Structure 1
C-alpha cells in the first residue's frame, strides 16, 4: 500500500525496532478485521501490516531510508510486492498478513484466537470462519455480611442483557475474586466461552465483625447481669443463643462460643456494661450505702 510506512505506524524515521514492533502490535489489536469490522479500521490495519513488513527487515528499512526502494518495496517499477501477492485472489495465505512467519506477533492474539489448522490458518482460521475465545466479563459485586459468611445466591446483569444466577461460596472474603468458568461472552466458531470474574465487596454488619473465620460481637449487659451473672441471649450468624455471663463480669471481658463462627470458626463475645438510662433514687441510695463498706479502686495498678 502506498504512503509513508512510518506514518502508517504513527512513528518517525528515528523509531527503534522495538518501537516499530510495539506500534504494530497496538494497531493489530485495535484494527484487525476479525476484531474491528469497520472498513476504515481494515484499511489502517492493511497499511500498518504493509509498513511493518517493510520496516521489520533491517536491510529493507535501510534501502527505503536511502531511497533505493519505495514504501511497497518496489524497485525499477516492480509491481508485485509480497503484500499484494498475499492478498491476491486464490492465494491460500490471503488475509493472514504475515503472522505465520512472525511467531512473536502471532502471540499478540494468542489469548483471543485459537490456532486450529495448519500453516496459513492464522488466528485460528478454519473453513468458513474463525475460532475465537469469548470475552471475559468482570464485575464488582457487593453482598451483605451474612451472605458472605454463610453463602447464598444472587443475580447479576450481563452486558448483552439477561441475568446470571451466581452461587456465593460460604466464607467469601471482602476483595476476593470469584471465577465463573464459561460464563463470559460467547466464543466465535469453535472458540470457548469466556469467563466471568466477580470481585466481592462485603457490606458491613451493624452487629458482627470478622477476623478470618471468627465472628466478633460486642454484647451490652446491665449492671445486675454483670454482678449476678446469668443467661443472656447473644446474636450469632445462625440466630440467637443463650450465653452464660459469669458473676462479676466486666467491660472488655471476652467469652467464646465454639463453632459459632464461619465454616467451623468461633464467635468471640466482648462484654460491655451499660448503665441504666436513668439513675433513680433507689439505685443511688443502694450504691451509697454499699460504698460505705465495700469501696474499691478500679484504677489501682492500672
Structure 2
C-alpha cells in the first residue's frame, strides 16, 4: 500500500483537522454508494479508508512515523533484525510478502521443538490475521487476531457479516448493533487448532468501520447535511429524511434557511454501555434546481422585497 500521507494528499505535518477534511473530501468523491459498479472507485475508497485508519489514530500515526507498523497497520520487525539476506536454522529465510514481513519455513523448526507455530499472513479481501505464538506440547490452540472492515450501516444496525478466512473456511460473524471503530470481538474456538487433540484457541476480530457517504458519527450522535428545495425552505412541510434505522418524516419549519439544524431524538447510534440511542442532527442546505426555472427567474426579477436586505452586511466589519 502507498504511503498514507500521499494517499490523503497531506504533508507529514498535517493536523488532525487537516487529515479529517482531506479524508472526508476524498471519501465523498469515491464512496461506493455514490459510484455504483465502479471498481476503481471502490478500490480507491478502500485505500483512503486504510490511510485514514492509520493517520486519524494518534497512536497508530506515531507508530507508523516511527517505523513500528507499515501502511497497512501490520507490525514491522525490530530495527536491526534479520532482513531479506539473513538466514536462520535449517536455511529458514526472512522475506516480505503480501505487504507483511514474516519468517518462512519456521513452522518445521518450531514443530520439532514445541509443536507448530505460524507467523502473520494476509487473508483475502483485506481480511488479515496473525497467530499468538508457538504452541505447547499438549496445550490448547493459540489465539488468532483478525482485522475486518465492515460497512458503516452494518456496524450501526448490527447483523451478520460473512467472511472467508485464510484457511478457506467461511464464517458468519455477529456484528452487535452499535459496534464502533476499533472494537474487538471474541470468537470462541475459532483460533489455531490445539496440539494433540487439544481445544482450539479463540479468535479476536478487530473491527474497522468504513465511513458513510453522508452520515457523520460524533460519539453516539449522527450528523447529516440534508438538501432541501427553496419551496420546502420557504413554505415548510414534511419531508423524508434518511436515518441509520431507516427513513423517517421530518417537519421543516416555514422560513428555514441553509444552516438551520433540526434534531431527531433517539435516531442516532446505540450506546452499548447505557443501552440508549443518540440523536440525529439534520442541517438543512437550500439547493437551487440544476436547470434555470423561468417562472422562478421571472418572480425574482419582480420581487422587490428581495432587494431590501443584504445578507453580506455583517461581513463588512471584518474588511
TM-score range, shorter chain: 0.5 to 0.7
TM-aligned CA deviation for residue 273 of structure 1: 0.3
Question: 2:158–2:174: 8 Å Cα contact kept in structure 1?
Answer: yes
Question: 2:110–2:134: 8 Å Cα contact kept in structure 1?
Answer: no
Quick one: structure 1 residues 190 and 159, their matched pair in 2 at CA, closer, same or farther if it must change by over 3 Å?
same
1:277 correspondence with 2:290:
yes
Quick one: structure 1 residues 221 and 293, their matched pair in 2 at CA, closer, same or farther if it must change by over 3 Å?
closer
CA distance in 2: counterparts of 1:146 and 1:167, whole angstroms: 14
Report the secondary structure of 2:314's partner residue.
coil
1:267 counterpart residue number? 280
Q: What RMSD, in angstroms, separates the aligned Cα atoms of the two structures?
A: 2.9
Quick one: structure 1 residues 186 and 36, their matched pair in 2 at CA, closer, same or farther if it must change by over 3 Å?
closer
List runs of 5+ in structure 2 lacking aligned partners.
1-87, 90-105, 117-131, 271-276
1:50 counterpart residue number? none
1:152 counterpart residue number? 159
1:289 counterpart residue number? 302
CA distance in 1: counterparts of 2:304 and 2:140, whole angstroms: 79
1:237 to 230, 244, 266: 244
CA distance in 1: counterparts of 2:180 and 2:109, whole angstroms: 36
2:192 to 167, 185, 192: 185
1:167 counterpart residue number? 174
TM-aligned CA deviation for residue 189 of structure 1: 3.9
Larger radius of gyration: 1
Question: 2:221–2:269: 8 Å Cα contact kept in structure 1?
Answer: yes
CA distance in 2: counterparts of 1:199 and 1:243, whole angstroms: 36
TM-aligned CA deviation for residue 180 of structure 1: 1.7
CA distance in 1: counterparts of 2:283 and 2:306, whole angstroms: 30
Q: How does 1:66-85 map to 2 (within 5 A)?
A: none
1:196 correspondence with 2:203:
yes
Runs of 4 or more above 6 Å deviation: none
1:225 correspondence with 2:238:
no
Quick one: structure 1 residues 237 and 283, their matched pair in 2 at CA, closer, same or farther if it must change by over 3 Å?
same
TM-aligned CA deviation for residue 149 of structure 1: 0.1
2:139 to 129, 132, 137: 132
TM-aligned CA deviation for residue 112 of structure 1: 5.3
Report the secondary structure of 1:282's partner residue.
helix
1:40-84 CA distance string (max 9 Å, x none):
xxxxxxxxxxxxxxxxxxxxxxxxxxxxxxxxxxxxxxxxxxxxx
CA distance in 2: counterparts of 1:272 and 1:205, whole angstroms: 19
User: More displaced, 284-293 or 132-141?
Assistant: 284-293
TM-aligned CA deviation for residue 153 of structure 1: 0.5
TM-aligned CA deviation for residue 292 of structure 1: 5.0
TM-aligned CA deviation for residue 30 of structure 1: 5.3
Quick one: structure 1 residues 151 and 160, their matched pair in 2 at CA, closer, same or farther if it must change by over 3 Å?
same
User: More displaced, 158-167 or 239-248?
Assistant: 158-167
Length-normalised TM-score, structure 2? 0.53
CA distance in 1: counterparts of 2:145 and 2:224, whole angstroms: 34
Question: 1:215–1:261: 8 Å Cα contact kept in structure 2?
Answer: yes
Quick one: structure 1 residues 292 and 265, their matched pair in 2 at CA, closer, same or farther if it must change by over 3 Å?
closer
CA distance in 1: counterparts of 2:160 and 2:219, whole angstroms: 22
Report the secondary structure of 1:301's partner residue.
helix
